[in-house]
Amino acid sequence: MRMRYGRAIACLVVSAVAGTMLPQVAYAAPVSSDNDKGIVDSFAGWFSEDEDEPGGPEEPSTGGTPTLPSREKLPKGKTAAKPKRVAELTARRTANARYWQLSDGRVQTEVSAVPTGYRSGKSWKDIDPTVTATGAKGYAFGNTTNAAGSWFGSDARRLLRFEASGTGATGRKVSFLYTQEGLLGRITDGDGSAQPKVFKFRYDATQGNKNAKLVEATDPRGNGTSLDYYYPSESDDPKDHWRAQGITDHLDGITAFDYVPNTTTRRSPTPR
Protein backbone atom coordinates (compact mmCIF):
# COMPACT_ATOMS: atom_id res chain seq x y z
CA MET A 1 0.00 0.00 0.00
CA ARG A 2 2.88 2.33 0.70
CA MET A 3 4.21 1.85 -2.87
CA ARG A 4 0.87 2.80 -4.36
CA TYR A 5 0.56 5.97 -2.26
CA GLY A 6 4.06 7.03 -3.33
CA ARG A 7 3.30 6.65 -7.03
CA ALA A 8 0.00 8.51 -6.67
CA ILE A 9 1.70 11.41 -4.96
CA ALA A 10 4.37 11.60 -7.69
CA CYS A 11 1.71 11.69 -10.41
CA LEU A 12 -0.15 14.49 -8.64
CA VAL A 13 3.04 16.61 -8.40
CA VAL A 14 3.85 16.16 -12.10
CA SER A 15 0.24 17.03 -13.07
CA ALA A 16 0.34 20.20 -10.97
CA VAL A 17 3.56 21.40 -12.55
CA ALA A 18 2.33 20.65 -16.07
CA GLY A 19 -0.96 22.38 -15.34
CA THR A 20 0.82 25.63 -14.46
CA MET A 21 2.71 25.62 -17.76
CA LEU A 22 -0.08 24.84 -20.23
CA PRO A 23 -2.07 28.09 -19.88
CA GLN A 24 1.08 30.19 -20.33
CA VAL A 25 2.02 28.39 -23.57
CA ALA A 26 -1.55 28.51 -24.87
CA TYR A 27 -2.12 32.20 -24.25
CA ALA A 28 1.46 33.52 -24.70
CA ALA A 29 2.17 31.94 -28.07
CA PRO A 30 1.21 34.29 -30.91
CA VAL A 31 -0.76 33.10 -33.84
CA SER A 32 1.49 32.03 -36.66
CA SER A 33 1.26 34.00 -39.87
CA ASP A 34 2.94 33.74 -43.23
CA ASN A 35 5.82 35.99 -42.18
CA ASP A 36 6.10 35.20 -38.46
CA LYS A 37 6.89 31.95 -36.70
CA GLY A 38 5.20 30.69 -33.61
CA ILE A 39 6.95 29.11 -30.70
CA VAL A 40 6.29 25.63 -31.97
CA ASP A 41 7.82 26.53 -35.33
CA SER A 42 10.84 27.97 -33.57
CA PHE A 43 11.35 24.77 -31.58
CA ALA A 44 10.95 22.74 -34.73
CA GLY A 45 13.63 24.84 -36.49
CA TRP A 46 16.17 23.82 -33.91
CA PHE A 47 16.05 20.21 -35.07
CA SER A 48 15.50 20.70 -38.82
CA GLU A 49 18.07 21.26 -41.59
CA ASP A 50 18.10 24.71 -43.12
CA GLU A 51 20.60 24.08 -45.90
CA ASP A 52 18.00 24.88 -48.55
CA GLU A 53 16.87 28.05 -46.84
CA PRO A 54 17.45 31.15 -48.99
CA GLY A 55 20.26 33.39 -47.78
CA GLY A 56 22.25 30.57 -46.12
CA PRO A 57 25.98 30.02 -46.72
CA GLU A 58 26.94 28.59 -50.07
CA GLU A 59 28.65 25.22 -50.25
CA PRO A 60 32.31 25.73 -51.09
CA SER A 61 33.38 24.67 -54.56
CA THR A 62 36.16 22.08 -54.86
CA GLY A 63 36.89 23.06 -58.45
CA GLY A 64 37.30 20.72 -61.39
CA THR A 65 35.61 17.40 -61.80
CA PRO A 66 35.50 15.24 -58.66
CA THR A 67 37.57 12.10 -59.13
CA LEU A 68 38.67 9.24 -56.95
CA PRO A 69 42.22 9.33 -55.53
CA SER A 70 44.74 7.88 -57.97
CA ARG A 71 46.92 4.90 -57.02
CA GLU A 72 49.40 5.65 -59.78
CA LYS A 73 53.06 5.22 -58.71
CA LEU A 74 55.41 8.21 -58.82
CA PRO A 75 58.47 7.97 -61.10
CA LYS A 76 61.67 6.81 -59.46
CA GLY A 77 63.92 9.68 -58.34
CA LYS A 78 67.30 10.28 -59.93
CA THR A 79 70.51 11.55 -58.31
CA ALA A 80 71.30 15.08 -59.41
CA ALA A 81 74.45 15.45 -61.48
CA LYS A 82 77.52 16.64 -59.58
CA PRO A 83 78.24 20.31 -60.45
CA LYS A 84 81.35 20.96 -62.47
CA ARG A 85 83.75 23.89 -62.53
CA VAL A 86 82.87 26.06 -65.51
CA ALA A 87 85.42 28.86 -65.18
CA GLU A 88 87.81 30.35 -62.62
CA LEU A 89 86.98 33.82 -61.33
CA THR A 90 90.52 35.13 -61.66
CA ALA A 91 89.55 38.69 -60.74
CA ARG A 92 88.73 37.50 -57.22
CA ARG A 93 91.86 35.39 -56.72
CA THR A 94 94.30 36.13 -53.88
CA ALA A 95 97.54 34.57 -52.70
CA ASN A 96 95.58 32.22 -50.41
CA ALA A 97 92.21 31.78 -52.15
CA ARG A 98 90.80 30.77 -55.55
CA TYR A 99 87.20 30.97 -56.82
CA TRP A 100 85.35 28.93 -59.45
CA GLN A 101 81.96 29.33 -61.13
CA LEU A 102 80.04 26.01 -60.97
CA SER A 103 77.64 24.62 -63.57
CA ASP A 104 74.68 24.92 -61.16
CA GLY A 105 75.24 28.66 -60.63
CA ARG A 106 77.04 28.46 -57.29
CA VAL A 107 80.57 29.70 -56.58
CA GLN A 108 83.17 27.34 -55.10
CA THR A 109 85.99 28.74 -52.95
CA GLU A 110 89.31 27.04 -52.25
CA VAL A 111 91.20 28.54 -49.28
CA SER A 112 94.71 27.66 -48.10
CA ALA A 113 96.44 28.54 -44.83
CA VAL A 114 99.66 29.21 -46.76
CA PRO A 115 100.10 31.10 -50.04
CA THR A 116 99.51 28.98 -53.14
CA GLY A 117 100.02 31.65 -55.80
CA TYR A 118 101.88 34.83 -56.59
CA ARG A 119 101.10 37.78 -58.82
CA SER A 120 103.07 37.99 -62.04
CA GLY A 121 102.18 41.22 -63.81
CA LYS A 122 98.38 41.39 -64.08
CA SER A 123 97.81 37.65 -63.64
CA TRP A 124 98.36 35.00 -60.98
CA LYS A 125 100.64 31.97 -61.14
CA ASP A 126 100.74 28.85 -58.97
CA ILE A 127 103.68 28.45 -56.61
CA ASP A 128 105.81 25.52 -57.74
CA PRO A 129 108.17 24.18 -55.02
CA THR A 130 109.91 21.72 -57.36
CA VAL A 131 113.71 21.81 -57.10
CA THR A 132 115.65 20.83 -60.20
CA ALA A 133 119.27 20.83 -61.35
CA THR A 134 120.63 24.25 -62.23
CA GLY A 135 123.61 25.62 -64.11
CA ALA A 136 124.17 28.51 -61.68
CA LYS A 137 127.82 28.79 -60.67
CA GLY A 138 128.46 27.23 -57.26
CA TYR A 139 124.98 25.75 -56.93
CA ALA A 140 123.79 22.30 -57.93
CA PHE A 141 120.03 22.68 -57.54
CA GLY A 142 117.53 25.51 -57.56
CA ASN A 143 114.04 26.79 -58.17
CA THR A 144 113.43 29.98 -60.17
CA THR A 145 109.80 29.44 -61.18
CA ASN A 146 108.31 31.65 -58.46
CA ALA A 147 108.53 35.28 -57.41
CA ALA A 148 111.55 34.33 -55.30
CA GLY A 149 114.40 32.12 -56.41
CA SER A 150 116.27 29.54 -54.30
CA TRP A 151 119.59 27.85 -55.01
CA PHE A 152 121.20 25.01 -53.05
CA GLY A 153 124.94 24.50 -53.25
CA SER A 154 127.17 21.51 -52.73
CA ASP A 155 129.80 23.67 -51.02
CA ALA A 156 129.25 24.13 -47.28
CA ARG A 157 130.01 27.84 -47.65
CA ARG A 158 127.23 28.17 -50.22
CA LEU A 159 124.47 26.02 -48.85
CA LEU A 160 121.61 28.35 -49.78
CA ARG A 161 121.01 31.43 -51.86
CA PHE A 162 117.64 33.17 -51.87
CA GLU A 163 116.62 35.96 -54.21
CA ALA A 164 113.41 37.97 -54.04
CA SER A 165 113.60 39.52 -57.49
CA GLY A 166 111.09 41.69 -59.24
CA THR A 167 108.90 42.12 -56.15
CA GLY A 168 109.95 45.68 -55.35
CA ALA A 169 110.16 48.92 -57.29
CA THR A 170 113.85 48.34 -58.08
CA GLY A 171 113.74 44.56 -58.46
CA ARG A 172 116.69 44.09 -56.10
CA LYS A 173 117.99 40.63 -55.29
CA VAL A 174 118.67 39.47 -51.73
CA SER A 175 120.86 36.44 -51.11
CA PHE A 176 121.58 34.53 -47.89
CA LEU A 177 124.84 32.69 -47.30
CA TYR A 178 125.08 30.06 -44.57
CA THR A 179 128.19 28.68 -42.89
CA GLN A 180 129.28 25.07 -42.88
CA GLU A 181 127.60 24.69 -39.51
CA GLY A 182 124.29 25.93 -40.94
CA LEU A 183 124.46 29.41 -39.40
CA LEU A 184 123.54 32.57 -41.26
CA GLY A 185 126.86 34.07 -42.29
CA ARG A 186 126.00 36.79 -44.75
CA ILE A 187 123.10 38.70 -46.27
CA THR A 188 123.65 40.51 -49.56
CA ASP A 189 121.10 43.14 -50.52
CA GLY A 190 121.32 43.88 -54.24
CA ASP A 191 123.38 40.81 -55.07
CA GLY A 192 124.77 41.07 -58.58
CA SER A 193 124.36 44.84 -58.71
CA ALA A 194 127.13 47.46 -58.91
CA GLN A 195 126.77 48.44 -55.23
CA PRO A 196 125.57 45.49 -53.15
CA LYS A 197 124.98 45.92 -49.41
CA VAL A 198 126.52 43.09 -47.41
CA PHE A 199 125.71 42.23 -43.77
CA LYS A 200 128.06 39.77 -42.04
CA PHE A 201 127.58 37.71 -38.88
CA ARG A 202 130.13 36.05 -36.58
CA TYR A 203 129.45 33.41 -33.93
CA ASP A 204 131.04 31.82 -30.85
CA ALA A 205 130.70 28.06 -30.97
CA THR A 206 132.32 27.30 -27.60
CA GLN A 207 129.20 25.38 -26.58
CA GLY A 208 129.04 23.62 -29.91
CA ASN A 209 127.20 24.24 -33.13
CA LYS A 210 123.76 23.56 -31.61
CA ASN A 211 124.13 26.45 -29.15
CA ALA A 212 126.34 28.90 -31.01
CA LYS A 213 126.08 32.54 -29.92
CA LEU A 214 126.02 35.52 -32.25
CA VAL A 215 128.89 37.77 -31.17
CA GLU A 216 129.16 40.32 -33.96
CA ALA A 217 127.08 41.77 -36.81
CA THR A 218 128.76 44.05 -39.38
CA ASP A 219 126.76 46.43 -41.57
CA PRO A 220 127.57 47.30 -45.23
CA ARG A 221 129.81 50.23 -44.12
CA GLY A 222 131.99 47.95 -42.02
CA ASN A 223 130.59 49.14 -38.67
CA GLY A 224 130.32 46.32 -36.19
CA THR A 225 127.83 45.67 -33.39
CA SER A 226 129.11 43.21 -30.80
CA LEU A 227 127.27 41.09 -28.25
CA ASP A 228 128.82 40.03 -24.93
CA TYR A 229 127.72 37.08 -22.80
CA TYR A 230 128.31 35.83 -19.27
CA TYR A 231 130.96 33.20 -19.90
CA PRO A 232 131.24 30.31 -17.42
CA SER A 233 133.58 30.71 -14.46
CA GLU A 234 134.10 28.94 -11.15
CA SER A 235 132.62 31.73 -9.01
CA ASP A 236 129.43 32.59 -10.89
CA ASP A 237 125.98 31.01 -10.82
CA PRO A 238 125.60 28.32 -13.53
CA LYS A 239 122.20 29.83 -14.34
CA ASP A 240 123.98 32.94 -15.62
CA HIS A 241 126.15 31.07 -18.10
CA TRP A 242 125.80 32.39 -21.66
CA ARG A 243 123.17 34.96 -20.81
CA ALA A 244 123.40 38.20 -22.79
CA GLN A 245 125.53 40.68 -20.86
CA GLY A 246 125.47 43.67 -23.20
CA ILE A 247 125.32 45.01 -26.74
CA THR A 248 127.86 47.50 -28.06
CA ASP A 249 126.81 49.37 -31.20
CA HIS A 250 129.07 50.94 -33.83
CA LEU A 251 129.05 54.27 -31.90
CA ASP A 252 130.37 52.49 -28.82
CA GLY A 253 127.03 52.80 -27.07
CA ILE A 254 126.46 50.00 -24.55
CA THR A 255 123.17 48.36 -23.69
CA ALA A 256 123.74 46.24 -20.57
CA PHE A 257 121.48 43.61 -19.03
CA ASP A 258 121.12 42.71 -15.34
CA TYR A 259 119.04 39.74 -14.20
CA VAL A 260 116.91 39.11 -11.14
CA PRO A 261 114.59 36.12 -10.66
CA ASN A 262 111.78 36.05 -13.27
CA THR A 263 112.56 39.59 -14.54
CA THR A 264 114.91 41.35 -16.92
CA THR A 265 116.26 44.87 -16.32
CA ARG A 266 117.64 46.87 -19.24
CA ARG A 267 120.00 49.81 -18.85
CA SER A 268 120.14 52.60 -21.42
CA PRO A 269 123.14 52.76 -23.76
CA THR A 270 126.19 54.42 -22.22
CA PRO A 271 129.13 55.63 -24.28
CA ARG A 272 132.51 54.16 -23.36
pLDDT tens digit at each of 272 positions of the chain: 455 556 666 666 556 655 555 554 444 445 555 555 555 565 555 555 555 556 666 776 666 676 767 777 778 888 888 899 999 999 999 999 999 999 999 999 999 998 899 888 888 989 888 998 888 877 888 888 887 788 888 776 667 777 765 444 445 677 778 777 778 888 888 877 888 899 999 888 776 666 788 889 999 988 999 988 877 766 666 666 777 888 888 888 888 887 776 655 555 555 44
pLDDT for the residue numbered 78? 83
Does residue 14 form part of some domain? no
How far is the C-alpha of 268 from the C-alpha of 257, rounded, in Å? Answer: 9
Does residue 251 form part of some domain? no
Instruction: Give backbone dihedrals phi and psi of 91, rounded to 5 degrees, phi first.
Output: -65, -20
Does residue 32 form part of some domain? no
Contact in structure between 247 and 229 (CB atoms under 8 Å) = no
pLDDT for the residue numbered 206? 73
Does residue 149 form part of some domain? no
Does residue 99 form part of some domain? yes
pLDDT for the residue numbered 25? 45
Contact in structure between 138 and 177 (CB atoms under 8 Å) = no
Does residue 89 form part of some domain? yes
**What sign has the CA pseudo-torsion 18, 19, 20, 25?**
positive
Does residue 18 form part of some domain? no
Q: From edge to edge, which strands make up the β-sheet containing 160-164?
A: 132-133, 141-143, 148-152, 160-164
Q: How many domains does the chain have?
A: 1
How far CA 93 is from CA of 75, 114, 118, 132, 154, in Å, comes to 43, 14, 10, 28, 38
pLDDT for the residue numbered 11? 65
Q: Exposed, middle or buried, 180 (CB in 10 Å: 0-12/13-18/19+)?
A: exposed
- Convert the pLDDT of each residue in 66-112 to its tens digit: 676 777 777 888 888 889 999 999 999 999 999 999 999 999 999 99
Using DSSP, state whether 232 is helix, strand or coil: coil
Does residue 116 form part of some domain? yes
Using DSSP, state whether 3 is helix, strand or coil: helix
Contact in structure between 197 and 189 (CB atoms under 8 Å) = yes
pTM, two decimals, is: 0.42
Q: Which domain holds residue 95?
A: 85-127
